[in-house]
Amino acid sequence: MTSKTLPKDLPACPVETTLLLLSNKWSVLILRDLFDQPRRFGQLQKSIGSISQKVLTANLRSLEEKGIVHREVFPVVPPHVEYSLTELGQSLRPIIDSMRIWGEAYKQQEN
């Protein structure tokens, strides 16, 4: 993992650092959708559902700047762009898996 794309003034608390990097629910849902395979913009938008094009674009750019998401442009007409997780992004899988497991348990408790 390289630190060249990470903010220089990270919080002292590691939990706060993780929250800063994930920043919002959209980022977590983007990660969820990229764990298994690269996806195109339209595939992500359709899978996530109620996210606007503007918000998805902003979140993808932010995750790319943080070194979590990789954007690859294929030189074809029309342009083909795929998003995938970097090694750093893949390292977040246990966190997201834990959130899924906890959410499933909570939903069972409510039934």
Task: Record the pTM.
Answer: 0.85
Note whether residue 97 is domain-resident: yes
Note whether residue 2 is domain-resident: no
Note whether residue 84 is domain-resident: yes
Q: Which domain does 82 fall in, by range?
A: 15-110
- Total count of domains within the chain: 1
Note whether residue 81 is domain-resident: yes
**Residue range 57-107, pLDDT digits in tens:** 999 999 999 999 999 999 999 889 999 999 999 999 999 999 999 999 999
Mean pLDDT score, 34-61: 96
Neighbouring-strand partners of residue 83? 39, 71
Q: What is the CATH number of the domain that holds 60?
A: 1.10.10.10
Rounded CA separation 28/80 (Å): 24
